[in-house]
Structure 1
Amino acid sequence: MGCLFPKFKSTKSLRQTPSLAASSSKDYGTLHNSQEIAHVPTTPSPSYYSPSPYNPAYTPINPPLDITYTADRKGTRGDSIHSKKGSLRRGNMPIRIATWNLLLFSKEKASHPEVLKIIVDIILANQLDLIAVQELSDKIALKLVCDELNRSKNGVWKYKVSERAGRMFQSNEYLGYIWNTSKGLRMKSDRLLTQNKSFARSPYLAKFIINKQNMLLVNVHLKAVGLAREDINRTRDEVDLLSLLIQSIYSISDFTSVHTFLLGDFNLCPDSDFDRIYQSGFQNLLAKGTHTNISARNPRGSMSYDNIWVSLETLETVYGGKCGVVRDGLVDVDTRREDRAPTVSDHCPVWATFNL
């Protein structure tokens, strides 16, 4: 993206007053617990769950939305500093955008036939069209997923992997995108934000085009808070840095003509820690308290790590009114059993539908 994203300054701490705050197949336990959430974000409120399947012909009503209100409780959006209306328009192509942390995903892991089958089956069964991926431990693993998707003859798939974004457990970490070109999606450019070293893992930005509409995706994997939450203030500072990134983008670009998405593994629930993101004109689609992790012992999850945030202009024009957490078909493995396959992931895919 050339010089689109300038280097911005950061301080050691951006906050003046930081708060403290099954069925089985072979040896695999399949967790049947998918959630589809019909959620039209205004102020964060309890979401409700709908068992209705995804319908590609579904044309949701574009809900009215007040984008400049103020509310006085945790997790709500204050007056937006970027709530101007622009030239964004609603299209007629339903697209499912998703994010998935694939947990130390290596070429070796992707080469396991059952693991690869589970990932591809989940992508196809849930009709995911564009997926931001975290925790790639090499640049080959996502290619194996892409090749398998193309062998399935369900669309024509492409992928792109960043340069080294940072470190994770005993490995470098790369971020990536994989998308179905049959839906008209085309990547125009991509860039790893390498100029600022305050992120544990650099955000990976990509610009896509569909039906003559521009989309900017910011793929993130923020610092983990730690088992005893000892690093929570560092994670909060990274959230604030994301708000500075958003403001930098808005300050030099006409982003009223680009649909903007901030998605990935935030390692935090979308509450008051995200006040700067709300004030930058973004809204989370999965409501606070929507669990996105999974394990065999706790198939319904207990943490809200992953999410999709969108600009208010994108929310107002093209959000389809539905998002979801995929649990059906996701396998968690007891690693103490030597006859078990590697774990697919302890994160669920998270998706939302847009009309582009």
Structure 2
Amino acid sequence: MLRFFASILLTLSLLQNAFADINIGTWNLEHLSVRPNKDFQAIAKVAQKVDFLAVQELMNEEALQALATELTRQTGKHWSAMASHAVGRSSYKEMYGFVWRDDVIAYEDGAVTYLDRGDAFEREPYSARFKSLKDGATFVVATVHILYGKNQADRASEITALSSYWAWLKDTYPGNNSIMLMGDFNTPPSSPAWDKLDASARPLMLEGASTLSTTDGKFSNLYDNIFVSRNSAIKVNSIQVFNYPKFLGLSHAQGRDKVSDHAPIFLSASLSGGSPGNASVKSTSPNPMKPVAVGNDSAKNLTVAIRGNKKTMIYHRPDCPSYNSVSEKNRMEFDSTAAAEAQHYHLAGNCH
């Protein structure tokens, strides 16, 4: 009888742990924008395999909104999204994006583009803190697209700079031991360039490849990855390169044309050992955050990125309907609503 009850308790424990698991992905979606040959239905069919997706090579906000809308349509569950501002040293710029299922994940706080004082990165990383609605555990996701450059040395310099960035993440989100750095590193985890990274960080993908080769069914380089702390509270159940061309029934040529030249990395994990989420987020910049929120609740805790219109003297929070309608020539950024009001700006009438 005791064995029977012990078996029941073990089964219930396993079920509870399984219920708390969340699925997280990272995907370089190769110049993601709304254009005729970009198949958002196919992308969403793959992306719905996870509850949260970090996107690299996002070209504009409209594309991220289109993906969130298509995910909502396909799953019957509402998805929210958030994007960074455009980053890059030249006229060519990219954005980073996060998209997530509202019934599983909630934006917590701390959306911030890295203050790259030494100009080490072509495209400064982007991060934010989120909460699992399954068990209340918080986690931090940082995403980066390392410069490919002309040779390995160009990539290695940015990989080396990730050591300082990793330390910055731990300092910026104190008390949170569930930090994940993910994206397209353009460098395999076996490269000596990683020797400079903080010894407490480790890659989850150690073998395989994530870029599509010219031969169907074969992949070339393990450029995409997820790094976590060696003593992280995250309990990894599985991690894989998801073979999306096979899943969608596409050739590699069709995949590169319609979707991306990268396959996503999908992680299934438990965050139940994470921090309770009451630690404050430190900022080392007077105006570090410039997110674009396109979901209903994604900006509820934002304290910066207030956008004013110099012509009308009206300001908009990221959750306001007209936030993205302010033209660049009339745009004024503020750290907070109080800062905007101190300059005699008034809240837009359609903000609630």
Alignment correspondent of 1:128: 50
Indicate the percent of aligned positions where both proteins have the same amino acid.
Answer: 24
TM alignment of 1:70-219, pairs within 5 A: 92-108=19-35, 112=37, 115-124=39-48, 127-166=49-88, 171-196=92-117, 197-210=119-132, 211-219=135-143
1:192: how far off? 1.1
1:139: how far off? 1.6
* 3-state secondary structure, aligned to 1:220: strand
CA 1:349/1:341 → structure 2, altered by over 3 Å: closer, same or farther? closer
Name structure 2 gaps, 5 residues minimum: 1-11, 272-352
Please give the per-residue CA displacement for 1:206-228, whole angstroms capped at 9, x wherever unaligned. Answer: 111223322111100001043xx
Structure 2 CA distance for aligned equivalents of residues 203 and 282 of structure 1: 16
Alignment correspondent of 1:283: 202
- Tell me, yes or no, if the aligned pair for 1:294 and 1:332 is still in contact at 8 Å: no
The one of 226, 237, 248 aligned to 1:321: 237
* 3-state secondary structure, aligned to 1:240: helix
Task: Tell me if 1:268 matches 2:192.
Answer: no
* 3-state secondary structure, aligned to 1:258: coil
Alignment correspondent of 2:144: 220
Alignment correspondent of 2:289: none
Q: How many residue pairs get matched?
A: 252
- Of structures 1 and 2, the one scoring higher in RCO (CA 8 A, sep 6+) is 1
- Tell me, yes or no, if the aligned pair for 2:216 and 2:252 is still in contact at 8 Å: no
Q: Give the TM-score, by structure 2 length.
A: 0.65
CA 1:220/1:186 → structure 2, altered by over 3 Å: closer, same or farther? same
Name structure 1 gaps, 5 residues minimum: 1-56, 61-89
Please give the per-residue CA displacement for 1:161-201, whole angstroms capped at 9, x wherever unaligned. Answer: 11012268x84211100011111433423111144322011
> Partner letter of residue 145 of structure 1?
L
- Tell me, yes or no, if the aligned pair for 1:332 and 1:345 is still in contact at 8 Å: no
- Tell me, yes or no, if the aligned pair for 1:296 and 1:332 is still in contact at 8 Å: no
CA 1:122/1:249 → structure 2, altered by over 3 Å: closer, same or farther? closer
Structure 2 CA distance for aligned equivalents of residues 264 and 97 of structure 1: 12
CA 1:192/1:300 → structure 2, altered by over 3 Å: closer, same or farther? same
CA 1:333/1:353 → structure 2, altered by over 3 Å: closer, same or farther? closer
* 3-state secondary structure, aligned to 2:93: strand
Please give the per-residue CA displacement for 1:102-151, whole angstroms capped at 9, x wherever unaligned. Answer: 00111215xx5x71111111122xx2111110011112101101001111
1:156: how far off? 1.7
1:277: how far off? 2.3
Alignment correspondent of 1:23: none
Structure 2 CA distance for aligned equivalents of residues 59 and 225 of structure 1: 47
1:296: how far off? 4.7
Structure 1 CA distance for aligned equivalents of residues 208 and 126 of structure 2: 25
> Partner letter of residue 25 of structure 2?
A
> Partner letter of residue 183 of structure 1?
V
1:259: how far off? 0.7
Alignment correspondent of 2:334: none
Structure 1 CA distance for aligned equivalents of residues 63 and 251 of structure 2: 19
RMSD: 2.8
Structure 2 CA distance for aligned equivalents of residues 333 and 343 of structure 1: 10
Please give the per-residue CA displacement for 1:298-356, whole angstroms capped at 9, x wherever unaligned. Answer: 43211111001111222xx3323310111133545648xxxx99431010010111113
